[in-house]
Amino acid sequence: MDRPLKSPGLYALEEVFHRQFELSRSEPAPTLQARLDRLRRLRAALTENEARFEAAISADFGHRSTVETAIAETMLVLGEIKHAAKHLKGWMAPERIPTTVQFAPAKNRLIPQPLGVIGIIAPWNYPLQLTLAPAVAAIAAGNSAIIQPSELVPRFSELLMEAIAKKFDTAELAVTDIDDDIAKAFAALPFDHLIFTGSTRIGRLVAEAAGRNLTPVTLELGGKSPAIVDGSADIDEAAQRIAYGKLLNAGQTCIAPDYALVPQASMQPFAMRLQGHMQHMFGTDPKNPDYTSIVSDRHYARLEGLVADAAAKGATIMQPAAPNDPEWKERRKFPPTVIVDATPEMTVMQEEIFGPLLPVVGTRDAMEAIAFINRRDRPLALYWFGTDNAARDTVLARTVSGGVTVNDCLFHFAQAYQPMGGVGASGSGAYHGEWGFKTLTKLKPVFYRSRFNRLADLYPPYGAKVARLEKLMRLLS
């Protein structure tokens, strides 16, 4: 039987992978200067095309606020590059490790080595940041990398391929086409490490495909990230900050607050203030250039379904306009929506929202809020608002999440000295700064034996000398 023909894109992907693989085995450790040069070229690829990237992303979304692209994408990537370049020499240095006393006067070292070829599967919601930030980690660690962009942002993907090709040989860094057959084949390549950002459902498929090659994976997934408004919180301040965290990128953010847990008595006042801050930030006019569109008609229809289901099951819906209003729908601008008195039976409380909807759930006390979170999958992020430090620390101690911001939303993600990653269903592994360097590095332990060491006394033939050494080793152990 004839084998099906491969597409040109799939042939190109395999060719690039083999080039990078061969180079990683023949020249496994790029120098500090080579890595700094690659970081410099990556920065140039970004800065020379910044306005074009903003325009391409906006066109792919239907409309994307240029301010949001600059703050949440361009500036974060430039910060990652600057941080890596500043600290790279120290990260690459062998680390002194204590030697177990029985083996003195030998010495131990941890020597960082590149893993080899890194695969990066990027999502559509922050296409620039979530392709290039992992690439910064890969380059800093001395690896080559192949980026697979999302098919939902074709203009951006084409521009990224062009910009990277002008600055890099494909043996260093490459961007794939967005053909369907490439997407299916990418995770099955025998990468030395694979980074995936996206949904939990697709993350499981990626991990399964990578597992056939024993490829280690870093998964940044998502889930339902809660915001807890403690009884000690300033309701208005919490509402303002949650509104911002929810509506950045029109809620299409993996660490956006997915629902709010609020004391029962404060639920209505909180919802009113939340709606007020949403309208103050983004108004009620769908033509507002600060407010970002939903990426596709399919995603828009899914959000409409979530609201309709919640309304049918008894929730109060607060919106400046109906989602089917032509002024909003033609622009794929989904009206900022507060869903008051949401219940677990509603679909909006069962799946990640990824849009500008915020369910508000009333709780009797802090322990009920903790129990509500712990009955569900581990979230990628958790947000706590209040002034009661003991209550805050109880939540931190009794919940598990990928990361936490206290008295605000999102900002733990932007900390270069902190890791970013999920736990359980929200992901595994971490990157950012030195954490990304270490994730994509083999920290190879090396034992240097001293000529003064008496290890030879352990060799056979055994006798009294071994008995004495055994007694000493037991004592030291």
The candidate with the shortest Cα–Cα distance to 58, out of 253, 293, 354, is 293
Please indicate whether residue 409 is annotated as part of the active site.
no
CB neighbour list of residue 407: distance below 8 Å, 6 or more residues apart = 241, 384, 385, 386
For tokens 């980026």, name the residue: 147
DSSP result, 282-297: H-S-TT-TTSPPPS-H
DSSP result, 414-432: G-TTS-B---GGGEE--BS
The candidate with the shortest Cα–Cα distance to 347, out of 316, 388, 305, is 305
Among 220, 352, 409, 434, the one annotated catalytic: 220
Please indicate whether residue 254 is annotated as part of the active site.
yes
Alpha helices per DSSP H over 93-173: 129-140, 154-167
Tokens for 271, please give them.
């919802």
Q: Give the neighbor-by-neighbor strand order of the sheet with 316-318.
A: 316-318, 337-340, 357-363, 259-263, 226-229, 381-385, 403-406
Torsion of CA 167, 169, 170, 171, to 10 degrees: -140
Among 54, 73, 80, 254, the one annotated catalytic: 254
DSSP result, 337-386: EEEET--TTSGGGTS---SSEEEEEEESSHHHHHHHHHTSPPPSEEEEE-
DSSP result, 460-475: SSPSHHHHHHHHHHHH
The candidate with the shortest Cα–Cα distance to 174, out of 190, 188, 163, is 163
Residues forming the active site:
220, 254
